[in-house]
Amino acid sequence: MDSLALCIPAYNAAAYLPRLLSSARSQHILFDEVLVYDDCSTDNTTAVAEQYGAKVIQGDVNRGCSYGKNMLAQNTGCNWIHFHDADDELLPNFTTLVHDWINNSDNAFDVLLLNFNYMDFATGELLGSGDYNVAELHADPLKYAISNKIVNFGVYKHSAFIKAGGFDLDENVLYNEDNAFHQSLAKQQFRFDYLPEVTCINYRYTKSMSASNVLKCARANFHVLEKTAATHGNKYPYELSCQLWYGITQLAACQDWEYVKKAISISKKLGYGYSPDGHKVFKTLTQIAPYITVYLREKRIRFFKPYLRKSD
């Protein structure tokens, strides 16, 4: 019989865990296991997790969420696993819909991507949702994973997770580990599906890790694309270049000119030393002088629209 584990990497998450673990308790079908990896927290994360009946794996040194997820996967006996950030939430339909999918999928897939509502925590405003394209996902999971940001809402066959090597522990991809993980699964030709019903809530916080580390996220995205370009650049040159050039605008916004040059260099090796997508004028100018075009555009933004860079 198929079993499902809820795996929660946590660092100083005592304030958030009650909401998430309460939502786990409210499922119509309970999780077979609920595990929390306490990444050497300085608050009472472990005590709160145990209070709600979770099994806690205690870290002795803070190593980050990717290491925590790998440890959680190593410590579960379930054949399906779901990782969930401690500061997000499950809807009451989660396990019912996931078990229905497992029972009806006839073992045809290894990865189930989940739909979610992206909401502002302070205001409750709905900002968006996952809305993945299932036809494109079925047709070519790696192409889809390159072209679309797949975040931390999925259910994974335990055997596939182990075979794929889990989450990449390379510090260079730390702030883009979900993207790296799904690309890794797709590279090994694991089969992806999508559940369109909303089952999770992803909260936006003003002081979230990504919001507080824009440059690190942009660099991590570059390194994920760099790795995939090295292994599959000949098959997906356009998709990789589009994402590299999207990243170039983010790197330029942080005035990280070293990484702008690195990204342009890789895109050039893929056959796109210019922006393959976007505004026609920008595309034309990058064909003439890619780096100078990016540099001058950023300086123009800072001069004429400084409010767009007010967070610097």
Token pair in block for residue 155: 């259910």
Confidence grade of residue 78 (pLDDT, cut at 50, 70, 90)? very high
User: Helix 214-232 and helix 257-269: axis angle, to 10°?
Assistant: 20
pLDDT at 310 over 80: no
Q: Which residues contact 81 (CB under 8 A, 6 or more apart)?
A: 4, 5, 7, 72, 73, 155, 156, 158, 161
The residue behind tokens 């090597």 is: 165
User: What does residue 42 show for φ and ψ, rounded to 5 degrees?
Assistant: -105, 0
Q: Residue 111: beta bridge partners?
A: 156, 192
Residue intervals of the chain classified under CATH 3.90.550.10 are 4-210
In this structure, how many other beta carbons lie within 10 angstroms of the beta carbon of residue 21?
22
CA–CA separation, 185 vs 304, rounded Å? 44
Find out whether 176 and 224 touch, Cβ atoms under 8 Å: yes
Q: Which residues contact 158 (CB under 8 A, 6 or more apart)?
A: 73, 76, 78, 79, 80, 81
Tens digit of pLDDT for each residue in 110-133?
999 999 999 999 999 999 999 999
Write down the pLDDT at residue 279: 85
Write down the pLDDT at residue 206: 80
User: What does residue 66 show for φ and ψ, rounded to 5 degrees?
Assistant: -65, -45
pTM over the 0.85 mark: yes
- Supply the mean pLDDT for the chain: 95
Decide: residue 130, CB within 10 A, 0-12 exposed, 13-18 middle, 19+ buried.
buried
The CATH number given to 4-210 is: 3.90.550.10
Tens digit of pLDDT for each residue in 2-37?
999 999 999 999 999 999 999 999 999 999 999 999
CA–CA separation, 151 vs 178, rounded Å? 6
Find out whether 130 and 114 touch, Cβ atoms under 8 Å: yes
CA–CA separation, 236 vs 228, rounded Å? 9
CA 19 to chain centroid, in Å, comes to 22
Token pair in block for residue 61: 């040194």
pLDDT at 312 over 80: no
CA–CA separation, 184 vs 178, rounded Å? 10
Find out whether 18 and 44 touch, Cβ atoms under 8 Å: no
Tens digit of pLDDT for each residue in 152-189?
899 999 999 999 999 999 999 999 999 999 999 999 99
Tens digit of pLDDT for each residue in 205-250?
986 665 668 999 999 999 999 999 999 999 999 999 999 999 999 9
Token pair in block for residue 152: 């931390």
CA–CA separation, 5 vs 3, rounded Å? 7
